[in-house]
C-alpha cells in the first residue's frame, strides 16, 4: 500500500456508514455541564465523504455545480518568499446521495495557482480567486482540464506577496438581474501578527474589505467588469456568506484592533475598525476615515460588530458561516441561524441574530466539536469551508498545515490531519432524543434577557436552575488582541416562564450597551464595541450550559453607573498578568510545561536558552531584560526551534513589568 494511502486509512478512516446506519445514542444530559465543544451535536449526523484515493485535499474554497463539488486546495505558507506553494482546482464527483467513498472521486482540473481561496461556477464557467488576481477558466479544447492559456484574468494586482493576503469567497449576489461575485480581501501582516504595509499594486484594490466584482456572464472580458466595495475595516476576514435577504456576513479574526473574533452582519459603506497603515504607496480599507491617524486608529470611528466570538472561549480562528434553512418539525426553530467553523479549535458554533431598534446583535452557542478519525462523531480536521449541497445537506471542507494553520492537537497527542471532507445533516423529528434540551436563542427585552429553549421546562425546574451571568467589554488598540474590560456580575432579580414553558424571562438590572460610560485604556476606549453578556445556567439539563450575547442596543437604555475598575497592572500586577495571558498569550504559551507554538512560561525565567538573533544562534539567560526585549520586539530574536510568530502586543512599561513579575512565579 502506498505510504500516503496508509496514512489516509489511519486518519480519515475506512468506513462508509450511511445516516441510517448510525447507532442511535441516548442523550445523557448532565448538571453543571461545562462549555467544552468536544462532541457532535445530538441533532446532527456526520459522515466522512473524503475520496478514497491517493489525493490530499486541503480545502480553501468550495462550490457546488449540479451534483459536482468544485474545490480549490493549497498548502498554507507562512513565509513571505514568493513563489508560494502551488494551488490546485479539483472536481469531486459521486458525493451526492452516496456514502461509498470508493465511488467518490477527486479529479484534478488545474494546478500552478497562487494560493487560491475563492471559487464559483456561473454559466458553466469556473471563477477562481488567487492571492493576486481573479480569473475565469475557459476549457477551450473541451478536454476537461485547464492550462495556463485557458485562464482569463479579470482583475490583477490585488496584492503584493504576503503570507496573510487572500481573496476569500465567492458568494453570488444578484442586483438588477446581474450577477456579482462577493468576496473578502485579507490584509498584509508581519510574522507574529503586527500590521504590515499593504503596498498598492492595482489602485482599485482596497484590502481588509468586502468587494463585489462583476457583472459576470460567463463571457465577460476584463473591460466588462469592475470591482466595488461594500464595507471595510477587517483584518483576517476568512469567512463570507450571503443570506436570503442579500445580507452579507463576514467573520473576522482577533488581532490588532480586534480584541475578539467577530461575526458581522454588514451595513453598506461601514468601517469595522481595523485601520491599515496609510503611506504614499499603500492602499487602505474601504471606508477607512481618511482624516484619522492610521497608526493610532480608534474604535470611536468604527461601526460596532454584530456578535463577539470571545477568543479562546468560543472561537480562535473563525471560518466560513452558513445559514440553516429548510429544517422541519421541532428543528425549524433553528432556521435563519448560522453555523460558523473554527479552524484551530476544531469546532462548529451557532449564531442567533435579532434586530433591536434598528441594530443587529445576537448570541453565539457552542454546537459541535471533537476529533474523530472516522468522521462520524466529530471532525476529521479543521473546518474551513461550508457548501450546501443540492441534497440540502451541508458539506464541510478541511484544511491545515503547521503552526496555527490547523486543528491544534491536544498536549501529547498526534497532530490532526490537514485535509478532509465531511457531510453534515440533521436528524428527523422521530430521532430527536426525548431528553434533549438546549438554549435556542437569547433575546434582549426591556430590563433583561429572554432565553428560548428547545423544549419546555416546568416551574419546578426553573426554580432549581442557577443563573451565573456576567458582562464585559473590550478596548480595541493598535496592539494585538486585548483582555476583557470592566467585568461585572449581573444578578437576576426575577425569573419567569412563558405559558409554553419554552422561554425564560430574566430581569437583570445593570445591563450595559454601546452608550457611555466607556471603558478606557490609555487613549483608547470601548466606544462602538458593545458588551458581551456571559450566560451560564446550572442545575438545568441542557446540552451546553453556556452562551454569549453581544449587547449593542439595550431596550430602555444601558446602565449609566460608573464602571467597575478593570484589573490594574499597578495595583494588582499578578491579576493583570493572568488576565492578559488568558486573553492573548495562552494561545501560544502554556503555564504547565506543555509545548505549544511558543515556549511554556513554566520555568522560563532564569534558565539559559538558545535564540536566533540576526540569523545566528546565541545563548542567553532569560532575565528581566530578555523578557522585556521579547515583549517589545518579539521578532528581533526568538527561541531556537520555534517559528518567529509572536505578535507585538504594545504593552506600556508598567504592564510589561507586571507580566514579567508573574512569569517569575511560574517555577
Instruction: Judge whether residue 143 has pLDDT over 80.
Output: yes
**Model confidence band, residue 36 (pLDDT cutoffs 50, 70, 90):** low
**Model confidence band, residue 565 (pLDDT cutoffs 50, 70, 90):** low
The whole-angstrom separation of Cα 252 and Cα 370 is: 23
Structural domains of the chain, ranges and CATH numbers in brackets: 439-551 (2.60.40), 573-665 (1.10.760.10)
For the chain, how long is the longest CA-to-CA vector?
73
Instruction: Judge whether residue 11 has pLDDT over 80.
Output: no
Q: What pLDDT is attached to residue 84? A: 74
Task: Tell which phi-psi region holds residue 224, choosing left (phi > 0), alpha (psi between -120 and 50) or beta.
Answer: alpha
Phi, psi of 656, rounded to the nearest 5 degrees: -60, -45
Q: What pLDDT is attached to residue 31? A: 36
Percentage of the chain exceeding pLDDT 70: 93
- 63 contacts 70 by C-beta, under 8 angstroms: yes
Task: Find out whether the peptide bond into 275 is cis, omega within 30 degrees of 0.
Answer: no
Instruction: Judge whether residue 109 has pLDDT over 70.
Output: yes
- 240 contacts 263 by C-beta, under 8 angstroms: no
The whole-angstrom separation of Cα 527 and Cα 475 is: 8
Task: Find out whether the peptide bond into 83 is cis, omega within 30 degrees of 0.
Answer: yes
Question: Taking the CA atoms of the chain, what radius of gyration do you get in angstroms?
Answer: 25
625 CB-near residues (< 8 Å, 6+ apart): none
Q: Angle CA(161)–CA(162)–CA(164) in degrees, nearest 5?
A: 145
Task: Tell which phi-psi region holds residue 655, choosing left (phi > 0), alpha (psi between -120 and 50) or beta.
Answer: alpha
632-638, long-range: CB < 8 A, 24+ apart: 632/656, 634/192, 635/190, 635/191, 635/192, 637/611, 637/612, 637/613, 638/611, 638/612
DSSP state of 334: G
Lowest mean pLDDT among 224-233, 263-272, 473-482, 509-518: 473-482
Residue at grid coordinates 438554549: 439
The whole-angstrom separation of Cα 295 and Cα 281 is: 15
Interval 283-330: pLDDT, tens: 999 999 999 999 999 999 999 999 999 999 999 999 999 999 999 999
- Helices marked H in 440-514: 459-464
For the segment 569-586, the average pLDDT, to the nearest whole number, is 78
Percentage of the chain exceeding pLDDT 90: 72
298 CB-near residues (< 8 Å, 6+ apart): 292, 476, 523, 524, 525
Q: What pLDDT is attached to residue 240? A: 98
Task: Find out whether the peptide bond into 472 is cis, omega within 30 degrees of 0.
Answer: no
Instruction: Judge whether residue 557 has pLDDT over 80.
Output: yes
For the segment 538-544, the average pLDDT, to the nearest whole number, is 96
- 402 contacts 447 by C-beta, under 8 angstroms: no
For the segment 511-540, the average pLDDT, to the nearest whole number, is 96
Indicate the Cα dihedral angle 400, 405, 407, 412, nearest 10°. Answer: 110
Q: What pLDDT is attached to residue 313? A: 92
Q: What pLDDT is attached to residue 37? A: 65
Q: Per the structure block, which three cell numbers stand in for 282?
A: 499603500
Q: What pLDDT is attached to residue 222? A: 97
Alpha carbon 492 to chain centroid, angstroms: 32
3 state DSSP class of 281: coil
Q: What pLDDT is attached to residue 280? A: 94
**Model confidence band, residue 188 (pLDDT cutoffs 50, 70, 90):** very high
For the segment 98-118, the average pLDDT, to the nearest whole number, is 96
Lowest mean pLDDT among 285-289, 308-312, 553-557, 590-594: 590-594
Q: What pLDDT is attached to residue 655? A: 83
Interval 147-169: pLDDT, tens: 999 999 999 999 998 999 999 99
Interval 216-248: pLDDT, tens: 999 999 999 999 999 999 999 999 999 999 999
pTM attached to this predicted model: 0.87
Q: What pLDDT is attached to residue 587? A: 67
Instruction: Judge whether residue 24 has pLDDT over 70.
Output: no
181 CB-near residues (< 8 Å, 6+ apart): 118, 120, 122, 127, 129, 134, 169, 170, 171, 172, 212, 213, 214, 216
The residue among 10 and 631 whose pLDDT is bigger is: 631
Give whole-number Cα distances, 542 to 33, 223, 356, 426, 443, in Å.
8, 57, 27, 19, 18
- The three state secondary structure string of 164-231 is CCCEEEEEEEEECCEEEEEEEECCCECCCCCECCCECCCCCCCCCEEEEEEEECCCCCHHHCEEEEEE
Average pLDDT of the chain, as a whole number:
90
**Model confidence band, residue 83 (pLDDT cutoffs 50, 70, 90):** low
- The three state secondary structure string of 393-412 is CEEEEEECCCCCCCCCCCCC
Q: What pLDDT is attached to residue 666? A: 87
Q: How many Cβ atoms are within 10 Å of 452's Cβ, its own excluded?
A: 15
For the segment 408-418, the average pLDDT, to the nearest whole number, is 84
The residue among 571 and 51 whose pLDDT is bigger is: 51
Closest CA to 65 of 8, 124, 119, 25: 124
If you write DSSP's letter for every residue of 284-318 in order, what string do you get?
--TT--TTS-TTT--GGGSPPPSEEE-BTTTBSSE
Q: What pLDDT is attached to residue 583? A: 66
DSSP state of 32: T
**Model confidence band, residue 612 (pLDDT cutoffs 50, 70, 90):** confident
Lowest mean pLDDT among 261-275, 281-295, 477-491: 477-491
Alpha carbon 244 to chain centroid, angstroms: 21
Instruction: Judge whether residue 16 has pLDDT over 80.
Output: no
Q: What pLDDT is attached to residue 3? A: 36
Q: Per the structure block, which three cell numbers stand in for 180?
A: 456579482
Instruction: Judge whether residue 142 has pLDDT over 50.
Output: yes
Phi, psi of 430, rounded to the nearest 5 degrees: -70, -15
Bridge partners of 157, per DSSP, are none
Q: What pLDDT is attached to residue 27? A: 41
Instruction: Judge whether residue 29 has pLDDT over 50.
Output: no
Q: Per the structure block, which three cell numbers stand in for 175?
A: 442586483
Instruction: Judge whether residue 647 has pLDDT over 80.
Output: no
Amino acid at each position: 500500500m502506498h505510504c500516503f494511502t496508509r496514512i489516509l486509512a489511519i486518519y480519515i478512516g475506512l468506513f462508509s456508514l450511511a445516516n441510517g446506519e448510525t447507532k442511535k445514542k441516548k442523550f445523557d444530559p448532565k448538571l453543571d455541564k461545562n462549555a467544552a465543544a468536544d462532541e457532535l451535536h445530538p441533532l446532527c449526523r456526520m459522515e466522512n465523504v473524503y475520496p478514497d484515493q491517493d489525493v490530499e485535499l486541503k480545502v480553501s474554497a468550495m462550490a457546488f455545480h449540479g451534483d459536482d463539488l468544485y474545490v480549490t486546495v493549497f498548502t498554507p505558507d507562512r513565509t513571505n518568499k514568493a513563489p508560494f506553494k502551488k494551488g490546485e482546482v479539483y472536481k469531486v464527483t459521486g458525493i451526492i446521495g452516496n456514502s461509498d467513498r470508493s465511488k467518490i472521486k477527486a479529479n484534478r482540473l488545474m494546478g500552478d495557482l497562487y494560493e487560491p481561496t475563492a471559487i464559483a461556477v456561473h454559466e458553466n464557467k469556473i471563477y477562481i480567486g488567487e492571492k493576486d488576481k481573479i480569473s475565469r477558466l475557459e476549457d477551450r479544447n473541451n478536454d476537461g482540464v485547464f492550462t495556463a492559456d485557458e485562464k482569463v484574468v479579470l482583475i490583477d494586482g490585488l496584492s503584493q506577496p504576503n503570507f496573510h493576503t487572500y481573496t476569500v469567497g465567492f458568494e453570488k449576489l444578484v442586483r438588477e438581474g446581474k450577477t456579482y461575485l462577493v468576496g473578502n480581501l485579507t490584509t498584509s501582516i508581519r510574522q507574529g501578527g503586527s500590521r504590515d504595509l499593504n503596498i498598492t499594486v492595482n489602485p482599485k484594490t482596497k484590502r481588509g474589505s468586502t468587494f463585489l466584482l462583476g457583472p459576470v456572464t460567463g463571457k465577460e472580458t476584463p473591460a466588462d467588469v469592475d470591482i466595488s466595495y461594500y464595507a471595510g475595516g477587517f483584518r483576517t476576514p476568512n469567512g463570507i456568506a450571503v443570506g436570503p435577504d442579500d445580507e452579507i456576513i463576514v467573520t473576522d479574526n482577533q488581532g490588532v484592533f480586534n480584541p475578539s473574533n467577530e461575526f458581522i452582519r454588514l451595513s453598506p459603506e461601514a468601517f469595522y475598525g481595523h485601520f491599515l497603515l496609510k503611506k504614499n504607496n499603500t492602499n487602505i480599507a474601504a471606508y477607512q476615515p481618511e482624516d484619522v491617524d492610521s497608526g493610532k486608529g480608534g474604535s470611536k470611528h468604527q461601526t460596532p460588530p454584530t456578535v463577539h466570538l470571545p477568543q479562546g472561549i468560543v472561537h480562535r480562528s473563525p471560518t466560513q458561516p452558513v445559514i440553516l434553512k429548510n429544517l422541519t418539525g421541532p428543528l425549524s426553530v433553528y432556521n435563519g441561524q448560522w453555523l460558523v467553523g473554527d479552524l484551530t479549535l476544531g469546532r462548529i458554533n451557532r449564531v442567533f441574530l435579532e434586530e433591536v431598534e434598528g441594530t443587529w446583535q445576537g448570541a453565539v452557542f457552542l454546537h459541535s466539536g471533537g476529533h474523530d478519525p472516522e468522521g462520524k462523531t466529530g471532525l476529521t480536521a479543521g473546518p474551513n469551508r461550508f457548501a450546501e449541497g443540492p441534497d440540502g445537506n451541508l458539506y464541510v471542507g478541511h484544511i491545515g498545515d503547521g503552526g496555527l494553520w490547523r486543528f491544534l492537537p491536544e498536549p501529547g497527542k498526534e497532530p490532526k490531519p490537514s485535509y478532509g471532507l465531511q457531510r453534515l445533516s440533521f436528524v428527523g423529528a422521530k430521532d430527536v432524543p426525548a431528553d434533549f434540551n438546549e438554549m435556542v436563542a437569547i433575546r434582549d427585552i426591556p430590563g433583561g434577557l429572554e432565553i428560548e429553549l428547545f423544549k419546555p421546562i416546568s416551574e419546578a425546574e426553573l426554580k432549581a436552575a442557577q443563573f451565573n451571568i456576567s458582562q464585559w467589554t473590550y478596548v480595541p488598540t493598535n496592539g494585538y488582541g486585548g483582555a476583557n474590560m470592566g467585568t461585572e456580575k449581573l444578578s437576576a432579580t426575577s425569573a419567569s416562564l412563558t405559558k409554553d414553558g419554552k422561554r425564560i424571562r430574566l430581569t437583570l438590572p445593570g445591563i450595559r450597551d454601546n452608550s457611555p460610560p466607556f471603558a478606557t485604556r490609555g487613549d483608547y476606549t470601548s466606544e462602538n464595541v458593545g458588551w458581551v453578556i456571559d450566560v451560564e445556567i446550572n442545575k438545568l439539563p441542557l446540552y451546553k450550559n453556556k452562551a454569549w450575547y453581544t449587547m449593542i442596543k439595550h431596550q430602555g437604555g444601558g446602565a449609566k453607573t460608573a464602571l467597575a475598575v478593570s484589573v490594574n497592572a499597578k495595583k494588582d500586577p499578578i491579576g493583570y498578568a493572568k488576565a492578559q495571558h488568558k486573553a492573548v498569550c495562552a494561545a501560544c504559551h502554556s503555564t504547565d510545561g506543555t509545548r505549544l507554538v511558543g515556549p511554556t512560561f513554566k520555568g522560563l525565567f532564569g534558565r539559559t536558552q538558545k535564540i536566533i538573533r540576526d540569523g545566528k544562534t546565541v545563548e542567553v539567560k532569560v532575565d528581566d531584560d530578555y523578557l522585556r526585549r521579547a515583549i517589545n520586539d518579539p521578532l528581533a530574536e526568538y527561541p531556537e526551534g520555534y517559528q518567529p510568530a509572536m505578535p507585538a502586543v504594545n504593552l506600556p512599561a508598567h504592564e510589561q513589568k507586571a507580566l514579567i513579575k508573574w512569569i517569575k512565579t511560574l517555577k
